[in-house]
Structure 1
Amino acid sequence: MSEEQKKILEQQLWNIANTLRGKMDADEFRDYILGFIFYKYLSEKMEAFANALEDDLVYSEVTDEEILEAVKEASIEELGYFLKPDELFHNIAKKGVQKEDNFILEDLEKILTNIEQTTMGSASEDDFIHLFEDLDLTSTKLGKSTNARNQVVAQVLSHLDNIDFNVADRNRDILGDAYEYLIGQFAAGAGKKAGEFYTPQQVSKILAKLVTVGKTRLKSVYDPTCGSGSLLLRVATEVEDVTNFYGQELNRTTYNLARMNMIMHDVHYAKFDIKQDDTLEHPQHLDKRFEAIVANPPFSAKWSANKLFLDDDRFSQYGKLAPSSKADFAFVQHMIHQLDDNGTMAIVLPHGVLFRGSAEGHIRKYLIENRNYLDAVIGLPANIFYGTSIPTCVLVFKKCREDSEHILFIDASNDFEKAKNQNYLTDKHVEKIIGTYANRKALNKYSYLAKMSEVKENDYNLNISRYVDTFEEEEPIDIDSVCTQLKDIDTEIANNDQTIKQYCDELGIATPF
């Protein structure tokens, strides 16, 4: 798809989203528009799959029960779900714009329920159950009356029906890219709430590239705070294949979004395992170890810091827990526990983790001195995340480090472009960070390879300015020249005063000085 085609598609999608704009908050109408797009995807995927099962089969016209049963069995096995011909998106969208008999809300609600029910008892059940629970077709936010709600929904479905996402072409991911575009747009308009489900694309790219340096395939990738799943999917674009995707998300709505996102990007239901729960309090994948781990956890979130966690294998070896008011290092400890011996993890955190003392200082020292897992510290620009303007950093950890004698520090805080409300990173900025990390380069005023002894001398304070000197010397001042300039200015002032006095005398008025 060309850039021009992509822009046209994005504009079409945004115009459709604007149908719901003004009726509800950005994070609310997000659930509707993305839910409808997901239904369209499932429908078109179902139709393309069924048509390919037999020559000359036109699935939308099939009425034979035996054929339908055979298609259902094959579809649930391969796709994980099933839709009958009269449940296809196009048929419902078409009915919604008829002049008569155009009420579709009940039909639509029944179809969405049926999609989930067809997965019951199958291997895909956990990946589809309650996927549409946030798509409330009875909400008065869609319209005060039933007819008003029906009209709005019908309008949205009709607009979507006119967009060809070309689902049958496995080499193109137009729908997945469109979905990602809308998620990003909603994040930009959702303020602080956006951080719950979306990491800016360029930051995702940095994390994904960091954990895949030198690799073409991954056995597994894990995100303990996966949001919409975009970061997991970003990792997959950096390698030829990822065998399995794992994630956990606390927010129920965002958890549903993540599962939809996986399916929309053609990740087979057997290849991903996304769970919904509090990762620190109730981890769901503790029995597994992962080759790549990425995360953008909520900055300085609160957690229980219950003393019982001192007996938890994730935290017990450190002797101290992260403070209840700042869970940043609790996420680090959790991720390190799940990191495989040949793995790499990259996590975005607020700058405070680099230098805060007490329990955090103790944990930081243990990770460096006792374990020697910290591979790199990367400082990012301020104001690049939705909902917060604070500067952030990326910490990279490895259990088996190639360069165990040094920690690489990169100060990329001054490399950014300015937008209207936010700063952003370009591909050039990203490649500079990754190139510096991969080659472990020491670049003047940008990066530095610190010996472990230096970090120890700094009492394990990782503040980047202690290691990367970005001080710019000012031009030396010529005092004699400045004195001469001041004398010339004094002379000019005196001459001007004399001229003004002459004019005042001629006019017969008092001088102003």
Structure 2
Amino acid sequence: MPEVIKTQDINSTVWKACDTFRGVIDPSQYKDYILVMLFLKYVSDVYSHKYKTYLKQYDGNKARAERAMAHERFNVPENAHFDFLYEKRNETNLGELIDIALADLEEANREKLTSKDGAGIFRNISFNSNNLGDKKQKSSRLKNLLQDFNELDLNPEHLEDKDIIGDAYEYLIANFASDAGKKAGEFYTPSEVSTLLAKLTKSKSGARIYDPTCGSASLLIKAAKEVDSNNFSLYGQEANGSTWALAVMNMFLHGFDNASIRWGDTLRNPKHTEGDQLMKFDTVVANPPFSLDKWGSEELSEDRFNRFHRGMPPKSKGDWAFILHMIESAYEETGKVGVVVPHGVLFRGSAEGRIRTQVIEDNLLDAVIGLPANLFFGTGIPAAILIFNKAKADKTQTLFIDASQNYESGKNQNKLKTEHIQRIVDTYNKFKSNELKAGVVEEKYSYISGLGELKENEFNLNIPRYVDTFEEEEPVDMPMVKKEIQSLKSEIDSVQDQMQEYLRKLDL
């Protein structure tokens, strides 16, 4: 009986492989090499396992086994197999051999590993790059990398559970995000924030789920896991080519082979369309880049999808551009949207204020949830979650939650614990099911506002306007304060008398 491979086994082995690149390339680039190699090892081991199974089934008949393999998830050419590269680990052109292997793996699986525009998922990475050192240094580093991965046996029969590879992938992406610092926001949303957003927008069976700025797809995967069945479809788009490749691999490693992850700028060129219209979704979730400058306002002044009919966001802040795209992408009457935003979205004026007013008057805003500061990699500013609901019908109330003080302090990042997430979700679910009355729901935590109150506040959504978190000071005991002052005055007089006595003795 082979030894069972556990998640921590993969995590520790693959994290050790990062030592190959420490001090050589920027930490934000580790993920490209390490995660591609993890993916290659996984598809190679799965392929070998299946081939051996068919050989046994067909009594060693290689031709029949190879015909059966043509219908498997991936076709792995001989020179693209991890074992082939491991056998060549002492070659001086190892980086070139790995690049050829990845290109051939793409070609053999074009429908899965290339975009509809013909871009392969490995096109933005080269193991033969001069960034890895001169020829000798590069070959030595890549040999060490192959040796580290050779320790892993990712044969599905040896794995603790079916999600172990995908979970290890998520673990590594999270750790890379920690190492990458400010650049991490481009590809990763902290796990607990993704979990919270997925629970707040929990999708029903059969749902279409979409993330227009999907990064490495961790949020989409969390949203998928909240569905109470395997009946759903996933869609995403990502502008960064390297991050798009991570998302595609992440989907395969989690078993979501039919996910449609597209590469491109969502605002300028949305790829998920039906005819000349935006594709519609049951659930739209995202953590867009905060206050993106030069997001495309000039090019989109006459947007063919009419996403900005409520107003054109300022060219230096793209927050509302992403929000409006998400709202337009949700099904009319039934769609829901969950988005992470900087607090400025809640109260900034001018064009943003006019858009916010229109969205609220259209009765789309369901909830405003303030999060703790320092949750996100690369920025310490607090963020908020906005929930929009196209199924509000006659309900015109909005829930405000101030969860900014509910967190676990961390050395580098704060974290939301399970109980913090559940408290938010429980409050929102009670609001949705009309169990709560307008006004204060929970002191210093939650409040339900009517449309009239929002209008009185000029559609300013700044959370302290609704959730009073002001801490009253204890009343001052004036007689006691007066008594303490007199006591202190007596002590000062005594000290001064002593000082004068010392000075007299010193004849000063």
Indicate whether the TM-score tops 0.5: yes
> Does structure 1 retain, via aligned residues, the 8 Å contact 2:45–2:153?
no
Aligned mate of 1:164, from 138, 153, 157: 153
Task: Report the equivalent of 2:256.
Answer: 267
Q: Does 1:462 align with 2:451?
A: no
| Structure 1: distance between partners of 2:7 and 2:66 | 38
User: Aligned AA for 1:278?
Assistant: D
- 392-401 vs 10-19, which deviates more? 10-19
Q: Does 1:232 align with 2:224?
A: no
- Offset, 1:6: 4.1
- Offset, 1:273: 1.0
Q: Does 1:184 align with 2:150?
A: no
> Does structure 2 retain, via aligned residues, the 8 Å contact 1:446–1:470?
yes
| Structure 1: distance between partners of 2:142 and 2:489 | 77
Q: Deviations over 1:63-105 (max 9, x none)?
A: 94x3364034212xxx1x31145643134224426xxx68644
> Does structure 2 retain, via aligned residues, the 8 Å contact 1:94–1:158?
no
Task: Report the equivalent of 1:286.
Answer: 273
Task: Report the equivalent of 1:90.
Answer: 83
Residue 241 of structure 1: SS of its match in structure 2? Answer: coil
Q: Deviations over 1:300-348 (max 9, x none)?
A: 1122213754453433532x21111111111111111110232221000
Residue 375 of structure 1: SS of its match in structure 2? Answer: strand
Task: Report the equivalent of 2:44.
Answer: 43
Task: Report the equivalent of 1:372.
Answer: 363
Can you give the 5+ residue segments of structure 2 that lack an aligned partner in the other structure?
A: none
| Structure 2: distance between partners of 1:43 and 1:358 | 56
Task: Report the equivalent of 1:354.
Answer: 346
Q: Does 1:205 align with 2:195?
A: yes
| Structure 1: distance between partners of 2:423 and 2:394 | 20
Aligned mate of 2:263, from 247, 258, 276: 276
Residue 189 of structure 2: SS of its match in structure 1? Answer: coil
Aligned mate of 2:387, from 389, 396, 403: 396
| Structure 1: distance between partners of 2:95 and 2:154 | 24
Q: Does 1:304 align with 2:301?
A: no
| Structure 1: distance between partners of 2:163 and 2:114 | 25
Q: Does 1:247 align with 2:248?
A: no
> Does structure 2 retain, via aligned residues, the 8 Å contact 1:165–1:174?
no
Q: Does 1:433 align with 2:424?
A: yes
| Structure 1: distance between partners of 2:84 and 2:69 | 19
User: Aligned AA for 2:128?
Assistant: T
Query: Would you say how many aligned residue pairs link Structure 1 and Structure 2?
Result: 487
90 and 63 in structure 1: CA distance in 2 versus 1, 3 angstrom threshold: farther
Task: Report the equivalent of 1:509.
Answer: 507
- Offset, 1:396: 0.2
Residue 290 of structure 1: SS of its match in structure 2? Answer: coil
- Offset, 1:482: 0.6
User: Aligned AA for 2:488?
Assistant: I
Aligned mate of 2:109, from 115, 119, 123: 119
**What is the correspondence of 1:63-74 to structure 2 with a 5 Å cutoff?**
64=62, 66-67=63-64, 69-74=66-71
379 and 314 in structure 1: CA distance in 2 versus 1, 3 angstrom threshold: farther
> Does structure 2 retain, via aligned residues, the 8 Å contact 1:295–1:346?
yes
Task: Report the equivalent of 1:344.
Answer: 336
Task: Report the equivalent of 2:496.
Answer: 497
- Offset, 1:296: 0.6
5 and 275 in structure 1: CA distance in 2 versus 1, 3 angstrom threshold: closer
> Does structure 1 retain, via aligned residues, the 8 Å contact 2:50–2:69?
no
Q: Deviations over 1:392-428 (max 9, x none)?
A: 1110011012772310000111122222222222222
| Structure 2: distance between partners of 1:177 and 1:402 | 39
> Does structure 1 retain, via aligned residues, the 8 Å contact 2:364–2:388?
yes
473 and 166 in structure 1: CA distance in 2 versus 1, 3 angstrom threshold: farther
User: Aligned AA for 2:494?
Assistant: N
> Does structure 2 retain, via aligned residues, the 8 Å contact 1:348–1:395?
yes
502 and 235 in structure 1: CA distance in 2 versus 1, 3 angstrom threshold: same
> Does structure 1 retain, via aligned residues, the 8 Å contact 2:163–2:254?
yes
Task: Report the equivalent of 2:127.
Answer: 137
Identity %: 39
Residue 23 of structure 1: SS of its match in structure 2? Answer: coil
> Does structure 1 retain, via aligned residues, the 8 Å contact 2:55–2:65?
no
> Does structure 1 retain, via aligned residues, the 8 Å contact 2:99–2:127?
yes
| Structure 1: distance between partners of 2:255 and 2:37 | 17
> Does structure 2 retain, via aligned residues, the 8 Å contact 1:166–1:174?
no
> Does structure 2 retain, via aligned residues, the 8 Å contact 1:218–1:291?
no
Q: Deviations over 1:209-254 (max 9, x none)?
A: 1110xx5524211000111111111111222325211111111111
